[in-house]
Every structure is written in structure tokens, then in C-alpha cells.
């Protein structure tokens, strides 16, 4: 599950949010089932995580809804 391509392959899409002031970054997937699998995979990898319901408190930088090679930049 390395990088955004791994997220897109495993979950059919992903989103990346970033707070410019704090430099915190957030990865997101869609749906309750994908969210559950996403959290489980991160815990299994040893990652520390905090779950945020809804949109993270940061600006959306890019997202991919599963279309190969398509990652629109959001300004």
C-alpha cells in the first residue's frame, strides 16, 4: 500500500489533504467499508493514526476517484 497509487489500487480512489500552517497531512478513502480496511491496514503496518469523520481540517490538495492516471489538482 505504498503511496497514493497503492491506495488507489486497494481502495478505488484516495484524497490528500494538507494544512499549510501546521504542515499536517491527511490521507482519505471513501466509504465505511474502505475506511475500516484502511484503518486496519495502517494499524497492521505499525502506523499511529487518528480517525477524523468527515473532511479533515485542511485543504484538499488532490484526489483520485479510481480513474487510472487521473489525479486532478485542487487549488
| 47 CA to centre of own chain | 14
Ranges of each domain in the chain: 3-64
Q: How would you class 72 by CB atoms within 10 Å of its CB: exposed for 0-12, middle for 13-18, buried for 19 or more? A: exposed
Indicate if the pLDDT at residue 1 is higher than 50.
no
| Predicted pLDDT of residue 15 | 86
Pick from 75, 49, 59: nearest CA to 17: 59
Dig out the grid coordinates for 63 from the structure: 484526489
Strands of the sheet containing 14-18, edge to edge, are: 25-28, 14-18, 59-64
pLDDT in tens, 42-62: 888 888 777 777 778 899 998
pLDDT in tens, 28-40: 888 888 888 888 8
DSSP H helices in the chain: 3-11, 32-44
pTM score, whole prediction: 0.66
Amino acid at each position: 500500500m505504498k503511496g497514493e497509487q497503492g491506495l488507489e489500487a486497494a481502495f478505488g480512489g484516495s484524497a490528500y489533504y494538507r494544512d499549510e500552517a501546521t504542515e499536517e497531512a491527511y490521507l482519505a478513502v471513501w466509504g465505511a467499508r474502505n475506511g475500516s480496511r484502511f484503518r486496519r491496514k495502517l494499524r497492521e503496518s505499525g502506523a499511529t493514526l487518528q480517525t477524523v469523520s468527515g473532511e479533515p481540517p485542511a485543504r484538499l490538495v488532490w484526489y483520485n476517484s479510481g480513474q487510472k492516471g487521473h489525479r486532478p489538482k485542487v487549488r
